[in-house]
Each structure stands twice: as C-alpha cells, then as structure tokens.
Structure 1
Amino acid sequence: MKTMQVQEQGGPLVAVEEARPVPGRGEVLLRIKACGVNFADTLMVKGTYQETPPYPFAPGMEVCGIVEEGAGLPVGTRVAAMIGHGGFAEFATAPAAACVPVPDGMSDAHAAAFLVAYGTAHVGLTHRARLQAGETLLVLGAAGGVGLTAIEVGKLLGAKVIACARGAAKCAIAKEAGADHVIDTDSGDIRTEVKALGGADVVWDPVGGAQFKAALRACKPEARLLPLGFASGEVPQIPANILLVKNLDVLGFYWGAYMTFAPEVIVRSLQTLFAWYGEGKLRPHVSHEVPLAEAADALDLLISRKATGKVVVTP
C-alpha cells in the first residue's frame, strides 16, 4: 500500500510503499476513504504532542473507511474510527470497538472530519464545562475545526455564542455557523467587547496566549474556562488571584484521554452527535480535500492558518 510517513522528528513527509497492516485480536483492517487532519498531527510531526508515536510513522488520527477483514464488524461496513496515527495511507487497522458505523447520508469527507472536532466540542461543553441554556459561550479560534463545532454545539445547547476569529472572511464563516456576535481579533479587543456584551460564562480556547489572558478578564463570576490547545504557540500562565476574586474554574480538557479511562463518555457523545447529524442539525465544514500524495500540503494549511473548519486527505 501507499503511505505518507515522517521518518524523523520534524522531518518532511515521504511517500513509502509497504505491506498492508494485519489486524490483530479485536481489530479490523480498513480501506481508507478519507482521513481528517488535525492540529495534533502537526505537533506529532514535530515531536511535541503528548502522544507522539515512535518514528517513522504516518500521521492521521481519524479516518473513514470500509472494513476489509477482521473480527467484530461485517466486511463492507463503512465506519469512522479514531486510530491515533496511520491515517495518511491506503489501509490501516483499528479496534473494532472504536469504529462507529457511518450513516448512509454522510459523505466520506464529513465522516472523516467528524469524530475529533464534534466529539471534542460536545464532551467539552457538556461533560466538562456544564454549559447551560441561556449562558454565554465565548469561542476563541472560532473558524478552526474545533471552533466551528463549538459554535454549532453551543447553539444546540441553547447558549448565546460570541465567536472570535481572525479577519473578515473567517468571521463570516463563524457567523454562518451560528454565532450571535463575532469579534475580529485583527482589529477588535476581546476583553472590552465581550464585557460590553455582558461577559462570558464559558470560554472555549484552542488558542492560548494573549487571547486566553483577554478572555480570562472578560469572564463573569463562576465562569468556566477550557484550555484545549495552544495554536498561538504560547501556553498561558494563569494568575491565581483572578481565579480567586471571580470564583473561576479553569478545566483541563483532552478529549482523546477519555478513550482510555472513560470510553463510555465518548460513546454516548457520538451517539448524540450522529443523531443530530441525521436530523440535519450539524453541518461539517470541510475547506480542503487533498490527495494522499500531497498530504504535506494538508498539514501546511493548518500550520499557516489558511484552512477553515477541517482539512481532509483522500487516498
């Protein structure tokens, strides 16, 4: 099979021909139809992600594929699966228990782009942040993969959504996703504008850096802040005095960890999300579909912030 691998830390993606993987006990072999690309993939290539596999490896943690062989699922079943890495390839193995049958009306690209972004938004906002109807949700990085899904899920949960994005085009995409108010971070002031809108009850932050600091100061008393990534490159240091004065909660959140210590949380969440998709309540946004041979360009789209929503690699 063909695969695109990184051979050493920070190295380029290289085309490699190798044997198809053999499914182990409880696994299935998938013929990959599409692979969702995540910011975590770029961190794995650099060797800075919390779960970077040994080199060489193929990036790609979420896929849509057809079951070719193995135990637990009928051959020919189309599924979406979290595989950790290996999705930049024509075939990959996956635990049968981690595979979710894809609804007939869902495209391969939407299925590959669905699990991480929507799963992260739903578990984060319901299970961790306890977002309630009528509360105000502030979404940073709102035009990215987990930003747009947070807007959609937040609105379905009954929240008022303030979205922060960079530039008019990305702000327009956030508005189209359902945001009630949009702040252009190229020209606006997050702290001032959010406070003018009444403040935030929940902050959704895949960005970190200066935007986290501004959002922290725009929170209502007893607000909850979820740092789930640091796309700015800066991990913010949190002043405990502000937490004390406003009775704030900062809640660490890593969606993938639930696969290990509480998989039932993810299973329940995905059941809800696929039902919402079937009802037409969710609209995945895929800005780019990139051939496998050009997978390096897919990573560059995220690094350069030229993508909106999700990028998908198609073998």
Structure 2
Amino acid sequence: MKAAIVQDPHHPPFFGEIDAPQPSAGDIRISVSAAALSHLVRSRASGRHYSTSGRVASVAGVDGVGRRDDGSRVYFVLPKAPNGSMAEKAVVAPAQCIVLPDELDDVTAAAIANPGMSSWAALTERARLKSGETVLVNGATGVSGRLAVQVAKYLGAGKIIATGRNARALQEVSALGADVTIPLVDDGDALERSFKPVFAEGVDVVLDYLWGQSAERLLIAAARAGADAVPIRYVEIGGASGQEITLPGAVLRSSAIELMGSGIGSIPLTRLIKAIEGVLYAAVPGGFKIATRPVPLSDVEQAWLDPTPGGRIVFITHPEASQERSTN
C-alpha cells in the first residue's frame, strides 16, 4: 500500500510502498480517506513527543477518517503500531473508532478532531466548565485556540477572553465569539498590567496553549487580583511559547488557583475519545470554523516542510472520496 513512511526521525516522511497492516482478531481495517498533519503528528513521527517513549512509527499519523469493511464512515485514532494513519489502510481497535455524522465531510472531520478535542476535554474533563463562567484562552489565534473559543462558547461560557500576538488574528477571533481580546507583548510588566483588569473582574477557567512568559504573567496577575477574585482552574494544554516557566511559590500559596494539565496521560484514552466524539457531533450544529488545506498524500514530503499558513493540512489518500457522505 502507499503510505507516508518514516525512515529517519530527523527528516520528513516520504511517499512510498509498504506492506499493508493485517488485522488481528477483533481489530477493524480502515480504508483511509483523510488524515491531518498536526504538532502531535510531527512530534510523534520524530519520537520527541512525551507519549512515544522515543519510539518512532513506520508510518506517520495518529488519526484519520475512512471506511470500515462494512462501508460505515468513521473517524479513528491511534492505529495499531508501528503503522500510523497516513496510508491507504490502517488497523485499529473498535473502541477507537467513532461513526461520523452524515453532515460532516471527511476533510473537516480529520482536521477538527485533534485540535477541537484539546479544548473540549480540558473544559469538560479537567476544568468542569459550568454554564455562564468566564474562560480565558491564552494563545487563541492558532488553530487549537480558535477552536477553543468556539467550543467554550458552545459549551456555555458566559464570557470569553482571548490572547494572541497577531492583532488581525485577534480581530478574527472576536468574530468567532471572543468578548475581550488582549495582545501579547514582549514587555512582561506591561503584559501583566494588561491581565490584571480581567482577573479583577473574575476569570473562572484559563486554557493555556502557550506556557512560557505569558503563563508566568497570567498566574502572577491572577494571584495579585486580590482575595475577592474568583478561584481559577488553570489548565495547561500546550507549550508553543516554551516548555518551562519560573513561578514564585507565593503565587500558589496566596491564591485559589488550581493548576492542572490536559492531554494524553492526564485523561484516560476512553474519555479523550469521548471528547473527540463530542467535537465531531457538535461541529456542524455549532458552526465550528476551521481552515483546511487538502493535499494529496503523494505530496507529503513537500507539505511537511511547507511553512506557509493557510489552514490545517489534511492529506487525502483517495481524493475522489474526500467529500463523501455516509449513507449508513
């Protein structure tokens, strides 16, 4: 079968021929139609992601969309190693498949599942968001952050605060549902001052996709907001701005901040799959918007290295099937 083959973790996968995986008893075989390229896919292909333990797959990809042998159209995640999802065929456990709603097309389903799950799981599993609460999304201008604003609104947030570096992108996030936007600047003291007013008014949940300096200043501003401030559930999801922070112990001793993470390991796989299902079934009724760039799988090496913005890259194994709807 054709696949995106990982031969060297220091180089992008190449398009080539590899033996198709064979299902064991109880496994499901998928004819793959679409698989998205994400930070998770890149880091697992290189063996750098914390969930890989240094292991590198033979075929790239962690999830995708396709059809089972019975014809049903499904989203699937974590196919049987060492083969990933960026191939003509994949084998997966039945519990790691979700039958897709008819109205959701293959490309959108593949693109939205992973980034949408990050906020859905963080809000429902970790923060336990209540209707009417205020949510701050740190790093709201990326793919996951934009979806986080939309998901928070869909799940009942009463007020949404979005941060980001790009002023134009922040305007676009406002159109997606953010009530307040805060530009992220390099001056740490100025950044902290910009955070203080929103924490003084009350923030219930922080979803942090950045970590780094903005996280340090967010936590300090939250602690300094005063004893009357609302207790904050701070959920760390990504580290786009850095993997480490310097945090004075007094920040936690002097505040009601609950600091937690959300991701593979902090939430059981069954619950993460349930979160993905929530996103997939809410995508159309919720009007979730995500920019996509469908690319033939044969162009995997070039697209892997392409820094051009313009939407989440989704590799199409069978282009003629990319817009199929389930008839089951």
TM-score with structure 1 length normalisation? 0.85
Post-superposition offset of 1:295: 2.4
Post-superposition offset of 1:267: 5.2
CA offset digits 1:126-149 (Å, max 9, x no partner): 221122233221112212232122
Map of 1:293 onto structure 2: 298
Map of 2:314 onto structure 1: 312
Question: Which structure is richer in relative contact order (CA contacts within 8 A, separation 6 or more)?
Answer: 2
Matched, 1:207 2:210: yes
Matched, 1:77 2:72: yes
CA offset digits 1:14-59 (Å, max 9, x no partner): 2220122111222111111111222112222332101226345222
C-alpha distance in 2 between matches for 1:170 and 1:25: 48
C-alpha distance in 2 between matches for 1:162 and 1:300: 33
Distance 1:200 1:297, change over 3 A: farther
Task: Summarize the alignment of residues 123-134 of structure 1 with structure 2, pairs less than 5 Å apart.
Answer: 123-134=121-132
Distance 1:182 1:130, change over 3 A: same
Matched, 1:191 2:201: no
C-alpha distance in 2 between matches for 1:142 and 1:311: 19
C-alpha distance in 2 between matches for 1:98 and 1:56: 18
Match of 1:113, SS?
Answer: helix
CA offset digits 1:40-95 (Å, max 9, x no partner): 12222332101226345222112010113xxxxxx111000112661221211111
Match for residue 87 of structure 1 among 85, 88, 91: 85
C-alpha distance in 2 between matches for 1:270 and 1:11: 30
C-alpha distance in 1 between matches for 2:294 and 2:178: 25
Q: Which amino acid aligns with 2:294?
A: E
C-alpha distance in 1 between matches for 2:297 and 2:256: 48
Distance 1:2 1:186, change over 3 A: farther
Structure 1 unaligned residues grouped into runs of 5+: 69-74
Bigger Rg, structure 1 or 2: 2
Q: Which amino acid aligns with 2:67?
A: I
Q: Contact 1:167/1:186 (CA < 8 Å) preserved in 2?
A: no
Higher strand share: 1
Structure 2 unaligned residues grouped into runs of 5+: 223-228, 318-328
Map of 1:234 onto structure 2: 243
Structure 1 range deviating more: 98-107 or 43-52: 43-52
C-alpha distance in 1 between matches for 2:57 and 2:124: 37
Structure 1 range deviating more: 287-296 or 90-99: 287-296
Match of 2:231, SS?
Answer: strand
Task: Summarize the alignment of residues 98-137 of structure 1 with structure 2, pairs less than 5 Å apart.
Answer: 98-137=96-135
Map of 2:7 onto structure 1: 7
C-alpha distance in 1 between matches for 2:107 and 2:250: 45
C-alpha distance in 2 between matches for 1:226 and 1:299: 29
Aligned length: 302
Matched, 1:60 2:61: yes
Post-superposition offset of 1:235: 2.2
CA offset digits 1:133-178 (Å, max 9, x no partner): 3322111221223212211121122231111223133223322221
Map of 2:43 onto structure 1: 43
- State the Cα RMSD in Å: 2.5
Post-superposition offset of 1:273: 3.5
CA offset digits 1:223-278 (Å, max 9, x no partner): 11111121123322433210111121111211466454xx1x34544454444335
Matched, 1:245 2:251: no
Post-superposition offset of 1:296: 3.8
Matched, 1:276 2:282: yes
